[in-house]
Amino acid sequence: MGKWWQSAVIYQIYPRSFKDTNGDGIGDLAGIISKLDYLEKLGVTALWLCPVYRSPNDDNGYDISDYRQIMAEFGTLGQMEDLIKKAKQRGIKIVMDLVVNHTSDEHQWFIEAKNDPKSKYRDYYIWRDPKAGKEPTELKSVFGGSAWEYDEQSGQYYFHQFSRKQPDLNWENPVVRKEVYEMMNFWVAKGIGGFRMDVIDLIGKVPEKNITSNGPKLHEYLKEMHQNVLADTKLVTVGETWGATPDIAKLYSDPEQKELSMVFQFEHVQLDQFPNRPKWFTRPLSVVKLKEVITKWQVELADVGWNSLFWNNHDLPRAVSAFGDDGIYRVQSAKMLAIVLHLLKGTPYIYQGEEIGMTNLKFTDIAQIDDIESKNMYQEYKAKGYSNEELLQMISHKGRDNARTPMQWDATKNAGFSSAKPWLAVAPNYQTINVKAALADKESIFYTYQKLIAYRKSHEVISVGDYSLVETKAEVFAYVRSYEGQSVLVIANFSKNVQKVALPKYQIQTPFIANYDNSPRDLAQLELRPYEALAFEITDHL
């Protein structure tokens, strides 16, 4: 038997947008607890919670001011313990977000560091003298502007790869590392199931040399973290690593290396972008490229390391809007995406609302936007001469608020998310796209997910079997999984067009899962309908 997370499916919750129970328009822990039955019904093994720690919310919880307290809007530490316990009773583990590349500037460490340059906390962060009266280096923040912020009081700059309210921690300092491990152990002792590690590939930064990701000491730090926290536990760890290649991913996720269980790599979600241009500038997705990239990762991590599988998260557009069709083929294409992803090798992640086919929203006014990244981009590009319409279109296409609109529970006011006005607009399609409607319809996207999750848990061919691509038409993605004499064939049409495909080797077969109907199909002369996806437990005829 492999590790528990090798046959697991992890569900990602953005707590702010999941379910509000106290009527302040903001999701909370009690809301998550109230939906555990729903999550159990879906069948997921673990919940990754985006940060729930105390935070002034400059970046919605990714700016932490106290790692051992819960954000006041979300609830209390007692409720967090209750959530861990109640989830466990249902066989569900809680995966915490670990944000340790930076803290909030309202963290006590930073307050002390700034107020007193002589304090021991000064060296918890990265301070540098000006260079020729200016920023120490040219490095830019991910959210726009310089990565250096001037501190009048001391005449030095501090380093921040995200907003100026997110100062970078100095991982060179062994005391900082020790603080982080102790904090992690505090949560481990509470019975959590693992950590999702925010931008973990940035912790080995060397600003002087313009090195941000994949710094020289990164893997040394992770090995140390493993020794101090993870060794001899069953915790799952998944690192967010925008800069990972398959070789780098193996360094993190080869069990021999004693670092992490797996990483999120982002190659497939950037295929609609231009190399070296900001994410806002896009081109149509090439299915050929998508197959190539997915196949590369499946093959490269086949024997060493482990893949995470996902279409979307809280920073990305909605899966069905980005990779499928959120118009007339919304239901078919959402199910198609589920079938393709959930039968691959790796650990699948479902982002809240994906299981009911939630879509991007068409934002029409910058006042509707909450996300710091989108707001900064809007200002920056407005100044460069882009029009309001162009910018809102870019934000509606790629902005992070698409994923953060409140979860659509039912057709009542505010989509059943809250009795008060939600902190972010609800997508107007909530009257048709909601959990209540999905649960009432046996043919809904929800039940396709439910079936796929159960199938993975009970079929080793899916959790550990080999992967091979089946050559076919450009817009058709077909692959075979095989393990100990069992094989599964997956065929998916990634387009609106009917696709004729011939796979004579397999002849007539009955799919065990499909997004139109389960009638037997002649694979020697197959006509795939728009976004049609089929999966077969195959027997060869030749």
Q: List active site positions.
A: 198, 240
Report the DSSP beta bridge partners of residue 468: 480
Task: Enumerate residues 160-179 that contact ligand NOJ by CB under 6 A.
Answer: 162
Q: Does 105 bind ligand NOJ (CB under 6 A)?
A: no
Q: Which is nearer to ligand NOJ, 199 or 377 (CB)?
A: 199
- Cα 17 from Cα 407, distance rounded (Å): 6
Reference 180, options 163, 164, 198, 193; nearest CA is: 198
Task: Enumerate residues 363-382 that contact ligand NOJ by CB under 6 A.
Answer: none
Hey, is 500 helix, strand or coil?
A: strand
- Cα 200 from Cα 253, distance rounded (Å): 13
**For the purposes of burial, counting CB atoms within 10 Å of the CB of 433, is it exposed (0-12), middle (13-18) or buried (19 or more)?**
buried
Contact with ligand NOJ (CB under 6 A): which of 315, 325, 326, 370?
315
Task: Enumerate residues 136-165 that contact ligand NOJ by CB under 6 A.
Answer: 162
What are the residue ranges of helices labelled H in 171-236?
Answer: 174-188, 218-225
Q: Which is nearer to ligand NOJ, 273 or 376 (CB)?
A: 376
Q: Are 92 and 40 in contact (CB under 8 A)?
A: yes
Reference 257, options 222, 299, 205; nearest CA is: 222
Least CB distance to ligand NOJ at residue 122 (A) = 22
Single-letter code of the amino acid located at 336: M
Hey, is 395 helix, strand or coil?
A: helix
| Region label for 91, one of left (φ > 0), alpha (ψ between -120 and 50) or beta (otherwise) | left
Task: Enumerate residues 191-220 that contact ligand NOJ by CB under 6 A.
Answer: 198-199
Least CB distance to ligand NOJ at residue 490 (A) = 29
HEC profile of 453-495: HHHHHHCHHHHCCEEEEECCCCCEEEEEEEECCEEEEEEEECC
Least CB distance to ligand NOJ at residue 371 (A) = 9
Q: Does 401 bind ligand NOJ (CB under 6 A)?
A: no
Least CB distance to ligand NOJ at residue 55 (A) = 11
Q: Which residue's C-beta sits nearest to ligand NOJ?
A: 62
Q: Which is nearer to ligand NOJ, 160 or 459 (CB)?
A: 160
Least CB distance to ligand NOJ at residue 417 (A) = 20
Single-letter code of the amino acid located at 537: E
Contact with ligand NOJ (CB under 6 A): which of 95, 99, 480, 526?
99
Q: Which is nearer to ligand NOJ, 98 or 225 (CB)?
A: 98
Q: Does 339 bind ligand NOJ (CB under 6 A)?
A: no
Contact with ligand NOJ (CB under 6 A): which of 20, 28, 58, 59?
59
Task: Enumerate residues 220-249 that contact ligand NOJ by CB under 6 A.
Answer: 240
DSSP 91: T
Q: Does 475 bind ligand NOJ (CB under 6 A)?
A: no
Q: Which is nearer to ligand NOJ, 107 or 481 (CB)?
A: 107
Tell me the two tokens of residue 489. Answer: 């064939």
Q: Which is nearer to ligand NOJ, 257 or 273 (CB)?
A: 273
What are the residue ranges of helices labelled H in 129-197?
Answer: 174-188
Q: Which is nearer to ligand NOJ, 99 or 424 (CB)?
A: 99
- Cα 143 from Cα 279, distance rounded (Å): 12
Q: Does 297 bind ligand NOJ (CB under 6 A)?
A: no
Tell me the two tokens of residue 274. Answer: 């231009």
Least CB distance to ligand NOJ at residue 372 (A) = 8
Contact with ligand NOJ (CB under 6 A): which of 14, 18, 48, 62?
62
Report the DSSP beta bridge partners of residue 466: 482
- Cα 414 from Cα 412, distance rounded (Å): 6
Least CB distance to ligand NOJ at residue 199 (A) = 5
Write out the residues near ligand NOJ by the rule CB under 6 A. Answer: 59, 62, 99, 162, 198-199, 240, 314-315
